[in-house]
Amino acid sequence: MSLLEVRDLTVRYGAVQAVNGVSLEVEAGECVTVLGANGAGKTSTLKALAGLMRPAAGEVLFDGRAVTGHPAHRLARMGVTLVPEGRQVFGPLTIRENLELGGFVQTADHTRRTLEQVLGVFPQLAPRLDSLAGNLSGGEQQMLAVGRALMSQPRLLMLDEPSLGLAPLVTGRIFEVVSEIAASGIAVLLVEQNVHRALQIAQRGYVLELGRVVLQGSSTALLADDHVRLAYLGHGMGEGE
Amino acid sequence: MSLAELPQQIVNGLVVGSLYGLIALGYTMVYGIVRLINFAQGALYEVGAYLGVVIFSVLADAGLRNPVLGLVVAIVVASALTGALALVVERVAYRPLRHAPPLAPLVTSLATFFLLMSIVQVVTGAQPLNYPQVLAVTPWTLGPITLAPTAALIAVVAIVLMVAMHLFVQRTRTGKAMRAIAVNRDAAALMGINTTRVVALTFALGGAMAAAGGVLFGVNYGTVTYNMGEFGGLVAFTAAVLGGIGNVPGALVGGLTVGVLSSFATMVLPNQWQEAVVFGILIVVLAFRPQGILGERVAERA
């Protein structure tokens, strides 16, 4: 049985259908990526899975339990968390407060211990715990956003375009951390525009077009697929953007 | 007008200003978290003041004679009941409009204000009601200043409540959740915060503070009237804007400033001008420093 099982998910914004019957699965400890162009429905899929949007139709099972339409705070308590697009750290709050809020679902004692672990992953945040999150650079904010999500000790971590707008060096570090997280046994569902990088760290992938899954398979198979090479990897040159 | 009056007017202004600050807290906390000017706040203040009369008379019938204990019970019970009323208002008048354009809940907040004010008017027959004498009348005299013990008590209670609320927002887990929602409601929900419940709690706390202000007003001035919520509510709104709406310490700063300024105004102008002065302050603030004294424009990184 999969940790996350999504059947025929449909998400609408008013009359616009953003996600049109998407089915996907993530096993415990697995790293899965969702690829697709802008407007393919990737962000809407993640928002619905995190409980920020109510699906118009379909079914979501987490750890075998039906969680379709559960609000975000209930899913967070079950171990489902999302690092949203554009980081969305709490700018006027300190880095420490951001991390503590990440551990909102845990006990204070738990939070203290997890904080040590998270600072071990992102040591550059440690000396700046009491400065405001809004003063961090984009890359540091992304690290804080990932750290904040880890504070809840999730079982499923979803990331929406974590490398968006970041310098190549920082992007490299983010992908390293994501693969370390996946290796530690946390299931990862990664939405990325950096298709090459994403397929390098994920075991499997889904390709979304106009709100539907048009292709799925192992990362190796997707990297070799003509359609993927042409549409997402730049004319089959085998290198990322 | 004589300058010798000045110290006395400052003291009077600070006492009444601390009450305005207490009511302003409700405007500022609700605005900070859901970006709504909750005009019902003025009516909640009035409801609290009238509940205080009822509670004091129940206590008197029950034979409770200790005035300070009576005041504490009146504040706690009136605040709890008014907080509960604010929860009902939030549930009925605002929550259904969460995804509506911002003007819609603004209109329902005005409607709630008039509805509650009219209910008080009908129930009490528009009769002013009297508060019992809580503390001895003999005022303290210090040079040119006289200060009634009640007035001093009121200012102290009001300021203690405001400091407590500030510490609550800054230090507690729920307070942090409130600040997180104020920044980004979706991100707060992703942290596991039940945002609907925290928003409702904010309304309840605002209502409770307004009721405490209402009881303190009644104890200080001895009489409550069916339309006190109009002036009180609008002065407190001015105080919230002046201090920097959304900013908790700003409510205190704004309240004290409005209190002292309107108190000065009574030195040079007849009493009827008081409202004109208060709204004059509001216009000047909005024109020259719309973010208020402590408010700042925070630029957010994308």
The owner of tokens 């503390």 is B135
Mean pLDDT over residues B123-143, rounded?
Answer: 85
Range of the domain at B46: 21-142+149-227
Site from B95, B184, B191 to mutate, A interface, most A CB atoms within 10 angstroms? B191
- Let me know if residue A124 belongs to a domain: no
| Gyration radius from chain B CA atoms | 19
Angle between helices B228-243 and B103-124 in degrees, nearest 10: 150
Range of the domain at A59: 4-87+156-231
Mean pLDDT over residues B201-217, rounded?
Answer: 97
Count of domains in chain A? 1
Predicted confidence at residue B68, as pLDDT, reads 82
With a CB-CB cutoff of 8 Å, which residues 36-75 of chain A face chain B?
A: 50-52, 71-73
- Let me know if residue B259 belongs to a domain: no
Mean pLDDT over residues B9-21, rounded?
Answer: 94
For chain A, give me the number of helices (H) and strands (E)? 9, 10
- Let me know if residue A241 belongs to a domain: no
Give the domain CATH number at A79.
3.40.50.300
- Which among A73, A82, A92 is the nearest to B193, CB-wise? A73
b/e per residue, A13-49, with b = 16+ CB within 10 A?
Answer: eeeebbbbebebbbeeebbbbbbbeeebbbbbbbbbb
The verdict on a CB contact (< 8 Å) between A76 and B300 is no
Count of domains in chain B? 1
Q: Is A162 helix (H, G, I), strand (E, B) or coil?
A: coil
The verdict on a CB contact (< 8 Å) between B192 and A105 is yes
Predicted confidence at residue B1, as pLDDT, reads 55
- Residue B173 predicted with pLDDT over 70: yes
- Let me know if residue A34 belongs to a domain: yes
- Let me know if residue B291 belongs to a domain: no
- Let me know if residue A144 belongs to a domain: no
pLDDT digits (tens, 9 = 90+) for B281-299: 999 998 998 888 887 654 3
CA A224 to chain centre: 24
- Let me know if residue B95 belongs to a domain: yes
Mean pLDDT over residues A97-110, rounded?
Answer: 94
pLDDT digits (tens, 9 = 90+) for B72-97: 999 999 999 999 999 999 999 999 99
Q: Which of A83, A84, A93, A86 is nearest to A135 (CA)?
A: A93
Chain B residues whose CB is inside 8 A of the A105 CB are: 191-192
